Amino acid sequence: MASHIVGYPRMGPKRELKFALESFWDKKSSAEDLQKVAADLRSAIWKQMADAGIKYIPSNTFSYYDQVLDATSMLGAVPPRYGWNGGEIRFDTYFSMARGNASVPAMEMTKWFDTNYHFIVPELGPDVNFSYASHKAVDEYKEAKSLGVDTVPVLVGPVSYLLLSKPAKGVEKTFSLLSLLPKILPIYKEVISELKAAGASWIQFDEPTLVLDLDSHQLQAFTAAYADLESALSGLNVLIDTYFADLTTEAYKTLVGLKGVTAYGLDLVRGTQTIDLVKAGFPEGKYLFAGVVDGRNIWANDLASSLSTLQRLEDIVGKDKLVVSTSCSLLHTAVDLVNETKLDDEIKSWLAFAAQKVVEVNALAKALAGQKDEAFFAANAAAQASRKSSPRVTNEAVQKAAAALKGSDHRRATNVSARLDAQQKKLNLPVLPTTTIGSFPQTLELRRVRREFKANKISEDNYIKAIKEEIKKVVDLQEELDIDVLVHGEPERNDMVEYFGEQLSGFAFTVNGWVQSYGSRCVKPPIIYGDVSRPKPMTVFWSSTAQSMTQRPMKGMLTGPVTILNWSFVRNDQPSLIFYDCNISRFETCYQIALAIKDEVEDLEKAGINVIQIDEAALREGLPLQKSEHAFYLKWAVHSFRITNCGVQDTTQIHTHMCYSNFNDIIHSIIDMDADVITIENSRSDEKLLSVFREGVKYGAGIGPGVYDIHSPRIPSTKEIADRINKMLAVLETNILWVNPDCGLKTRKYAEVKPALNNMVAAAKLLRTQLASAK
């Protein structure tokens, strides 16, 4: 029985790639140094999988930024502003597309389906001259082969590539991106030809858009594309991999009807109903790559349950045609549990990171082949039983409190217009008030202080003194820049979710459980293992300290319950998990987190904090992939946010923040959150957020569409920011518009932040003057 891994984490067990990338970007190391680190990581990954007995090992899943940008490079689809003149795409062009440079902005970045991973959105139009401009897929296949590992090269499928793209600036929004299929397929054929010549026997096309709500025209594009590629693929075994959700009946029929395809990869973890489609009919002689090991969570697989599922599938597809696989790429989970030295033994026994999931996949494959490792399966069963019976998982008081929430919609008593009037009387802010989103640059010295405090190398008094000094520096800088509503900069926090999870019961934490978010940015998601509550205040001391340093309003900074949920590794042990696609198991936990944040909000208000920001950066990210499930998710997600602040006074201004997603389709749910002010990503996505207001949606609360992109080192000019504010004023009322960056500033350097914020404030003042003179 064979085994397969869809993809593997790239950063390395100790984030080796992250540090190599940042060293290269800072011009402290060469391209050759970066390539050497990358080659060593790839070699280690391939060897690890080969040693574990995996038969179908992927290549070309390693990336210096993201796999969609790699596909853009392969196709030579470089926007003209980057000045690329043909030839093999090098690092300067590649990273300019991803991060921008001194003269041009980066391409849009958005979330990869419903994950916290991001990708660079291709910008396409009828005039793009596609060309074979990156040989990475072939080069990495040859590299693995030279090491004695025969891999399955992985490409982003041609139809998913186009469906994940957007019309370039100046191209009609109605332009059919799928009309470009005839232009990109010849390049795919060139890649396929080179892979065949290099000795590849399998090729994997990732077509995850098949799990979306597709119309007949879009589904027909898959049929047409693979019919066109059929002759080029002759002699190769072809795997089409889908993941993250169930396939619709129509999508499944399209998938199994594709010409020239040998195998189908299905997510049987999140695609809980897809197995019924397989039972109803699976093409004879084809392979099923059964994704039974979860690629998006860190819980040990229930091997007995998975083996039972696989045995049922074996009866349908045939013993020699069933391949055990992960549900999706392991990119979305942490690297190796071996590196976790501080997790207690009980919780550790419940977990499996990427390295352990590779072992699970192979153990299941061997069991199906009659070589079951009885000791391994027995240990797994014991861990599953321990988790079900552990008293640390259940808190009946918390469960009762969360259950009681369902009888009310938890709205504030006064409408937002009246609240804004009351808040303005108290805060006395100017027109176009300026603020930032929360975090300020995390310097090496600041990181050292936090690290040494956690390691008990400095005292608590010295730690508090150092953090207070950092807060004072940030407050003084904001006053010097003349920002209206201040933040304390979050120097005590390495990560917005990790910080809160560390102080809530029901959470566990890793030392090296890093997961890539985008580029070199890694996050360390907390693990929610049980019922959640707040034992004591979490932020009141730091917010009060910061407010004591200034007469200006100081925002209390919190992470909202939906974002904590979506950016954590979430429980999968509630009985209602079988309804996962309706998110029933998730909302129970979300309500518990909402109650904890509600306690914190009310304590901040009592401490004299008049502006409280409750970030819901990931609310859109958690939206189910199929529209039939949207309403239920949005109902409980929006309700959870309202729970957090339903008890505050009218004069307390509640902000929220959202970043890097498409919000237009959920704008009415955003309005229903009933926040006083929302700050929201806008600049990197070509200001498409503003289009929803041009189309007539009325928004009465305060709103701050980001005026510049913080994920790029580029510093925007005052004129550029003023022009952007003017575009906003064309569709939004002057009295509700705020001026702010797109997101927090922790990933930037002060040398970038100071001039950018200075220009932002200057632009706001310029517009205030112009508005006053126009009266």
479 in a labelled binding site: no
- Categorise residue 52: left if φ over 0, alpha if ψ from -120 to 50, beta otherwise: alpha
- Strand 521-523 relative to strand 515-518: parallel, antiparallel, unpaired? antiparallel
- Strand 322-326 relative to strand 287-293: parallel, antiparallel, unpaired? parallel
Tell me the H-state helices in 331-459.
Answer: 345-349, 354-368, 374-389, 396-403, 416-427, 444-454
Amino acid at 180: L
Report the alpha-carbon distance of residue 462 to residue 432 in Å, rounded. Answer: 39
490 in a labelled binding site: yes
DSSP code string of 272-325? TTHHHHHHH---TT-EEEEEEE-SS--BPP-HHHHHHHHHHHHHHH-GGGEEEE
- Categorise residue 543: left if φ over 0, alpha if ψ from -120 to 50, beta otherwise: alpha
Report the alpha-carbon distance of residue 22 to residue 2 in Å, rounded. Answer: 38
| Beta carbons within 10 angstroms of residue 740's beta carbon | 26
CB 167 within 8 A of CB 122: no
First to last CA, the chain: 77
CB 701 within 8 A of CB 421: no
* Short-list 673, 609, 667, CA closest to 635: 673
- Find residue 241's DSSP bridge partners: 206, 265
582 in a labelled binding site: no
112 in a labelled binding site: no
438 in a labelled binding site: yes
CB 650 within 8 A of CB 423: yes
672 in a labelled binding site: yes
567 in a labelled binding site: yes
DSSP code string of 675-721? -SEEEE--TTTTTTHHHHHHTT----SEEEE-SS-TTS-----HHHH
CB 247 within 8 A of CB 255: yes
HSE-up of 151 (CA within 13 Å, CB side)? 33
Amino acid at 718: T
**Is residue 430 exposed (0-12), middle (13-18) or buried (19+ Cβ within 10 Å)?**
exposed
* Catalytic residue chosen out of the listed positions 118, 488, 655, 711: 711
Backbone angles phi, psi at 592, to 5 degrees: -65, -45
Report the alpha-carbon distance of residue 609 to residue 651 in Å, rounded. Answer: 11
Report the alpha-carbon distance of residue 39 to residue 35 in Å, rounded. Answer: 6
Backbone angles phi, psi at 556, to 5 degrees: -80, 135
Size of the chain in residues? 775
The angle at the Cα of 394, spanning 411 to 396, to the nearest 5 degrees, equals: 55
73 in a labelled binding site: no
Structure tokens that stand for 272 in this block: 């809980």
CB 11 within 8 A of CB 18: yes
668 in a labelled binding site: yes
CB 350 within 8 A of CB 290: no
Amino acid at 405: L
116 in a labelled binding site: yes
**Is residue 630 exposed (0-12), middle (13-18) or buried (19+ Cβ within 10 Å)?**
middle
Active site residue 4: no
520 in a labelled binding site: no
522 in a labelled binding site: yes
What does each C-alpha distance from 545 to 554, 607, 708 come to in angstroms? Answer: 10, 10, 29
Strand order in the sheet with 611-615: 555-559, 611-615, 653-658, 677-680, 702-705
* Short-list 691, 682, 672, CA closest to 731: 691
What does each C-alpha distance from 486 to 378, 594, 695, 739 come to in angstroms? Answer: 56, 25, 33, 13
Q: Which residues participate in the annotated binding site for L-homocysteine?
A: 615
Q: Which residues participate in the annotated binding site for 5-methyltetrahydropteroyltri-L-glutamate?
A: 18, 116, 521-522, 567
Q: Which residues participate in the annotated binding site for L-methionine?
A: 437-439, 490, 615
Q: Which residues participate in the annotated binding site for Zn(2+)?
A: 657, 659, 668, 672, 681, 743
Q: Which residues participate in the annotated binding site?
A: 18, 116, 437-439, 490, 521-522, 567, 615, 657, 659, 668, 672, 681, 743
Catalytic amino acids? 711
